[in-house]
Amino acid sequence: MDIYMKTRKLRADERLPLYQRLREEIQARISSGEWKPDTPIPTEAELTQEYGVAVGTVRKAVDTLVSDGLLQRNQGRGTFVRRPDFESSFLRFFRQTNAAGERIIPEGQVLERRTIVPPEYVSIALGLSAQAEAVYLKRIRRIEGVPMLCEDIWLPYARFHALADIPLQAFGNLLYPFYEQECGQMIAAARESLRVSCADQQTASALEIPQGSPVVIIDRVAQGYDHSPLEYRRSRGGASTFHYQIDIS
């Protein structure tokens, strides 16, 4: 990895502590795609030389990013940009197994894609103006042909316009790597909320369950490495496949 010969200036607010300014600089470089998920960032020695700061300052900045889940230390290999495992969320909540009882990730299929002005609650969550457009995706997820989840997904058009003309069959089974590949947008974190409701006609048809059946609804707002909201996703699954477990000690 190259060591810069010139000292790079920290661009963050000079009123902030030095380690926090360095932290924001590292985060900005991750957000821009300069340092990608699953790849190592420069060593402490390299960052010390590059920014002209003490090694303790570098270590503290990196420590905060590790605590926040953006970076991950791998013993003997270095510090890497962390790629979160978002699929584990659904594996926690839904019994996703095949006929042999093995837990598997459902196959996803995008059924519909439109450019629309999203509902108000979606616009607010994504930080969009009232008339700003979003790319809308309607998606179904199946296990061995059986529908498990139906999803409504909204993405800010300004960041995801490249998806507006891509053939539906080109969308992969996992959307987050696809966002990164086609739009350069990397998902770093997400917040989810759960509630229980009854299946309306559209949901019942998609999940092949009786109308009025109980369903679990998971609303997710996913963010980039710069904390900007990038995706609003509403997933619905039959309550009969839902389970919740927590270990308390």
DSSP character string of 198-212: E--HHHHHHHT--TT
The highest-level CATH class for domain 87-241 is alpha beta
Give the pLDDT confidence of 156-207 residue by residue, as tens digits.
999 999 999 999 999 988 899 899 889 989 888 889 999 999 999 999 999 9
- The mean of the pLDDT values for the chain is 86
pLDDT at 5 over 50: no
> For the chain, what's the residue count?
249
Torsion angle (degrees, nearest 10) of CA 130, 202, 137, 89: 100
Name residue 6's amino acid. Answer: K
Q: What is the pTM of this model?
A: 0.76
Parallel, antiparallel or unpaired: strands 107-116 and 78-81: unpaired
pLDDT value at position 98?
60
Closest CA to 233 of 202, 204, 188, 192: 192
pLDDT band at 4 (very low <50, low <70, confident <90, very high): very low
CA distance 98 to 19: 49
Give the pLDDT confidence of 205-238 residue by residue, as tens digits.
999 999 999 999 999 999 988 889 999 999 999 9
Give the pLDDT confidence of 140-149 residue by residue, as tens digits.
998 888 898 9
Give the pLDDT confidence of 87-117 residue by residue, as tens digits.
665 556 665 666 666 667 788 999 999 999 9
Closest CA to 41 of 63, 18, 72: 72
CA distance 178 to 163: 10
Residue with more model confidence, 29 or 135? 135
Sequence spans of domains, the chain? 18-81, 87-241
Average confidence (pLDDT) over 146-157:
95
pLDDT band at 30 (very low <50, low <70, confident <90, very high): confident
Instruction: Name the CATH code of domain 18-81 (choices 1.10.10.10, 1.10.3720.10, 3.40.50.20, 3.40.50.720).
Output: 1.10.10.10
